């Protein structure tokens, strides 16, 4: 009797394990967090370039109130130091969070060091950080931008290298290394920044806040419009280790915080940060 009861318990247990295993296999992969981490890093390091460009385009007094101040507002103080070979601009947001004109809180410093004019072939500038935070996420590392001259389409082109880390407000870390080409497709002939438009291609790799390594490749150029605080279009294939490939679609040109992530044929909406 006892043997028969034990056998029944074991059989029921095995059936339960099989059923649980089947349910796990049947459940769709809905993990959009890894794609969101990549989008966060992408947006963060695009953002620092926009800040650097905005700060460099004004003066220490007028940039705060001019029509070209779409991000900084009254949050930052700008200072310059020069040597015989280069210039360093420090954008100081202070030690307490300040709400900037794009709706993001910032504190700390961004430093930009360059030689040569931005639109001249051979220009190089490097962006670094000193205790810099955006919405309480700390940004570390460096970004180097090199003007490689006119491409085959006659547009100014830049090689961009990022070796960066974002420490999230919850203590988790996203690492992001990228090699990109940024093509200046609109606005290079004017003095205002608001008509500047870039197309970005290339690839990246790193690790997500959940500890998954990943690779990311732009399959449709990412469109950056300076007048918009978000990526407006483009598609990136994102492959986290041990998981199916995700496709991040930033839309068809609307200036909004919306994007979609497609995993195994299922599409999910995400909000960019």
pLDDT per residue over 63-105, tens digit each? 333 344 568 878 889 999 999 889 999 999 999 999 998 889 9
The answer to whether residue 253 sits within a structural domain is: no
pLDDT per residue over 21-33, tens digit each? 444 455 677 778 7
Q: Is the pLDDT of residue 129 over 60?
A: yes
* Separation between Cα atoms, residue 176 and residue 141, nearest integer Å: 9
* In contact, 211 and 34? CB cutoff 8 Å: no
* Separation between Cα atoms, residue 172 and residue 163, nearest integer Å: 17
Round to the nearest angstrom and report the end-to-end CA distance of the chain.
63
Report yes or no on whether pTM surpasses 0.85: no
Q: Provide the number of structural domains found in the chain.
A: 1
* Separation between Cα atoms, residue 185 and residue 172, nearest integer Å: 36
Q: Is 126 exposed, middle or buried (0-12, 13-18, 19+ CB in 10 A)?
A: middle
Q: Which domain range does residue 189 map to?
A: 31-209+222-227
* Separation between Cα atoms, residue 61 and residue 46, nearest integer Å: 25
The answer to whether residue 11 sits within a structural domain is: no
**What is the tally of helices (H) and strands (E) in the chain?**
2, 14
The answer to whether residue 240 sits within a structural domain is: no
């Amino acid at each position: 009797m006892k043997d028969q009861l034990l056998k029944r318990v074991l059989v029921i247990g095995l059936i339960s394990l099989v059923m649980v295993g089947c349910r796990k296999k049947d459940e769709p992969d809905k993990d959009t967090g890894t794609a969101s981490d990549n989008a966060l890093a992408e947006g963060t390091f695009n953002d620092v370039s926009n800040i650097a460009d905005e700060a460099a385009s004004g003066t220490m007094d007028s940039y705060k109130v001019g029509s070209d101040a779409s991000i900084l507002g009254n949050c930052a103080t700008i200072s310059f130091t020069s040597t015989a070979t280069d210039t360093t601009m420090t954008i100081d947001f202070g030690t307490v969070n300040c709400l900037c004109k794009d709706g993001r809180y910032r504190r700390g410093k961004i430093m930009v060091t360059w030689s040569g004019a931005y639109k001249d072939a051979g220009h190089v500038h490097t962006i670094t950080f000193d205790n810099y935070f955006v919405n309480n996420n700390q940004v570390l590392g460096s970004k180097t931008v090199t003007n490689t001259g006119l491409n085959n389409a006659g547009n100014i082109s830049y090689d961009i290298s990022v070796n960066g880390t974002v420490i999230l407000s919850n203590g988790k870390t996203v690492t992001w290394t990228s090699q990109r080409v940024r093509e200046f497709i609109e606005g290079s002939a004017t003095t205002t920044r608001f008509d500047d438009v870039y197309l970005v291609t290339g690839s990246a790799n790193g690790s997500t806040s959940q500890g998954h390594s990943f690779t990311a490749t732009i399959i449709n150029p990412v469109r950056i419009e300076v007048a918009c605080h978000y990526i407006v279009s483009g598609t990136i294939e994102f492959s986290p280790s041990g998981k199916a490939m995700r496709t991040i679609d930033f839309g068809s040109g609307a200036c909004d915080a919306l994007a979609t992530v497609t995993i195994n044929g299922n599409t999910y909406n995400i909000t960019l940060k």
